[in-house]
Amino acid sequence: LKLLPEDRDVWDLIPYFSGILVLQMFSSILSNYSQISLKRLSLRIQASLESMIYDKILMFSVLNPSDHDEGSISNYINLDAPKVKDALEQFVWVFEGALTLCFCMVIGFYFYDWKFAVCLGVFGLGVCVTSPKFVATAARTSGPCRARSFRR
């Protein structure tokens, strides 16, 4: 089993492997830095939201009844502010996934032309067929395919 052509030596591939290693380390460092920065930013936004809502609570009076009393506003603090923080933290994953997908598609089409499109189509069809929503819709519309009991 020959993995390399006759005119290539294994030592010729060392710069490529070291380049891949350096790029992987650099991307890990950038990913960690962006996650830490966004986590710090999301914590600051959560704290500012909570302080704004607490400031709003201090303006309410017991003598002026309204739909938004102290209990509902503290409920907003406990439920909504952490959701905003979590949504901001997940933004990195969405952005990183979109960039990785675009990069992989460019590389795939560059090296494999139409074969990559066929593989991508087969993969997409497999994802659609095996998704729970597709399976549930197909089970509802398939007709007399119902579970039968084993009672006699």
Percent of the chain having pLDDT more than 70? 72
pLDDT band with cut points at 50, 70 and 90 for residue 1: very low
Whole-model pTM: value is 0.48
Angstrom distance (rounded) from CA 45 to CA 29: 24
Angstrom distance (rounded) from CA 86 to CA 46: 9
Angstrom distance (rounded) from CA 54 to CA 71: 11
Average pLDDT of every residue of the chain:
76
For residues 92 and 35, is the Cβ–Cβ distance under 8 A? Answer: yes
Considering just the CA atoms, what is the radius of gyration of the chain in Å? 28
